Amino acid sequence: MMNEKNSILLEKVKSLPLLPGVYRFYDSEGNIIYIGKAKFLKKRVSSYFVQSNNTSFKIRSMIRKIADVSHIVVDSESDALLLENNLIKQYKPRYNSLLKDDKTYPWIVVTNEEFPRVFFSRNKIHGSARYFGPFTSKKMVNVLLELFKRIYKVRTCKLDLTKDSIAAGKHKVCLEYHIKNCLAPCVGKQSYKDYNTSIKEIVSILKGNIPTLIYDLKDKMKEFASNYMFEEAQTMKDKILALEGYQSKSTIVNPSIHNIDVFGYYSTDKVFCINYLKIVNGSIVQSHNTFVELKFITEKEDVVKRSIVAIRDLFNSTSKEIIVADAIDISGLNAGFVNPKIGDKKKLLELSERNAKYYYSDYLISKEGKRKDKSEIVLDRLKRDLNMAVLPKHIECFDNSNIQGAFPVAACVVFKNGKPSKNDYRHFNIKTVVGPDDFASMYEILHRRYSRLIAEEQPLPQLIIIDGGKGQLGMAVKVLNELNILHSVTVVGIAKRLEEIFFPGDPVPLYIDKTSSSLKIIQHLRNEAHRFGITFHRNQRSKNFVDSKLLSIPGIGDKTADKLLSHFGSVAMIKEATLDDLTAIVGHSKANTIYEKIKKL
């Protein structure tokens, strides 16, 4: 393909050694456009210039841009793999689809101060602090920081806090202490030793050494109790319970399985998905997915090797044991490979492989989503999150509004194709319920709504959302059962405080990711129903207040009040009317009475 393009370049390629190493392709401006590794440099680089017509467009495009090549010889293919990884991270060449990762991941930072702070950051500055991570889920970072805040109450202020500055009395009690976020080491209410003991325990948790920490805390608790220091013993017990609760949620296999890396993958002819799990004391402490389109690299073993090197480098892994499905040899990693056939390690490998397969499914959905409009993508995500059988193109949401049972009303808002359909909104005056009874009110409006749709042979929604918890949801289920349509729709309740999604018959709520489009559309429906209901409720209160003013005038009934309001528009305009104006509407006798009394309202 390039025989006539650049004779100097071809001579360079011919002179490459048959040794392992790394090669770099440059464009005409001297920019590195691709970095690769080879067991035999000459064979690998030469292969680019004798490509067949089956070569992908991306490779042909890259080859046309090659103006120069350089190489580095190393001792082994493993060394070449490690060097290639580092160079790709450094230069980020345009045509390297593997090992190049511009995404910033969250870290938990423990500062190098006398009274260290613990916080979240996406920027890692070497030498400035201790960094733990990276975490691929911001949610996990928040869970850990919330745990630390609850158990240890370390400071979050940015004071330049030292033992000397505290001794000199340079600091005042900060706001954190008043709201009980910290124990005020700045004014000596917490000692240097006690504060840094908390930091050591936090670091132990971040390293995954929770069982050891719990064991030490139990020893301290027994020691405090034996010395009749019951308050201190109770503090230790509270920490133990919190840590055991956190540990129970994350332990998935035998806790004796400590500090290992698991790599599971799923592949087709065109794509390769690899999942990484970091296991410490039987718990998953880190997880990561990598996706590769097989364009340049066609050998799957090669992809596995490259991915393992890149991911271990990203997560600073020093695990001596790596679990994979097939026999692999990367001598430069200083770690052994295990291919388990049975037992807990096999279960971990199967879990990782399932994650890789799920990741591939998400890839197919996202690829398909490019051919869909935005609303259909959102509805497809909502369908999956709520485990629905059909796409929720028609959604209805209900909300009650009343003040101590006065002026009870309800609202129904309708979304079609993910967007408000305001012509289909409905509001309801509660007719059969006396007093503030949200459950009975919900029963009434749902029965009225869906019995009417059934009678008029109107289409039912695919999804019904009830603004409320288990009680309101229970009433919805009762109505839909009575109307024999529960099997035809999905109904859920949303509780405001924690945005919990409740399903009929399931005591455990669903927590959808706060950034998810599914939760956002549910919140949009809930907020729209609340807005629509409150507006109607206020209008009813206002109308009732106006009517009560007019009805307080002797001789004025409902019909007369309606006549006056229909003609004049408001009580204020009635006050401005002349006696002749009033006489023309209600007659001379009533006009005189209204004219005298209306001014006093």
pLDDT digits (tens, 9 = 90+) for 552-588: 777 777 677 767 766 776 677 778 888 888 888 888 8
Q: What is the pLDDT of residue 342?
A: 87
Residue 344 clears pLDDT 70, i.e. is over it: yes
**Cα–Cα dist 566/561, whole Å:** 8
Residue 300: Cβ within 10 Å count: 16
Q: What is the pLDDT of residue 307?
A: 84
**Cα–Cα dist 494/500, whole Å:** 6
Tokens of 342: 């049975």
Query: To the nearest whole number, what is the mean pLDDT of the chain?
Result: 79
> Where does the pLDDT of residue 353 fall: very low under 50, low under 70, confident under 90, or very high at 90 and above?
confident
Q: Which of 23-27, 228-232, 264-268 has the highest mean pLDDT?
A: 23-27
Residue 100 clears pLDDT 60, i.e. is over it: no
pLDDT in tens, 509-539: 887 777 778 888 998 898 888 888 777 656 5
Phi and psi of 23, rounded to 5°?
Answer: -120, 155
Residue 473 clears pLDDT 50, i.e. is over it: yes
DSSP letters along 445-508, please? HHHHHHHHHHHTTPPPPSEEEEESSHHHHHHHHHHHHHTT-GGGSEEEEEETTTTEEEETTEEE
Residue 365: Cβ within 10 Å count: 14
pLDDT in tens, 252-267: 556 677 788 999 888 8
Find the Cα–Cα–Cα–Cα dihedral 28, 33, 37, 41, rounded to 10°.
-20
Q: What is the pLDDT of residue 392?
A: 93
Tokens of 359: 């990741």
Return all residues near 163 (Cβ < 8 A) that are at least 6 apart: 114, 192
Minimal CA–CA distance to 235: which of 315, 152, 309, 143? Answer: 152
**Cα–Cα dist 468/497, whole Å:** 10
Q: What is the pLDDT of residue 255?
A: 64
Residue 249 clears pLDDT 60, i.e. is over it: no
**3 state SS of 363:** helix
Computed over its alpha carbons, how large is the radius of gyration of the chain?
35
pLDDT in tens, 299-317: 677 788 888 888 888 777 8
Q: What is the pLDDT of residue 4?
A: 47
H or E stretch including 293?
strand 283-293
Residue tagged 């702070």 (tokens): 117
Q: What is the pLDDT of residue 534?
A: 78
Residue 322 per-residue DSSP state: E
Residue range 202-225: average pLDDT? 82
Q: What is the pLDDT of residue 174?
A: 66
> Where does the pLDDT of residue 600 fall: very low under 50, low under 70, confident under 90, or very high at 90 and above?
low
What whole-number percentage of the chain has pLDDT above 70?
80
Residue tagged 């059909």 (tokens): 390
**Cα–Cα dist 336/548, whole Å:** 85
Q: What is the pLDDT of residue 343?
A: 84
Query: In this predicted model, which residue has the larger pLDDT, 63 or 366?
Result: 63
**Cα–Cα dist 107/334, whole Å:** 25
Beta partners for residue 401, in sequence order: 409
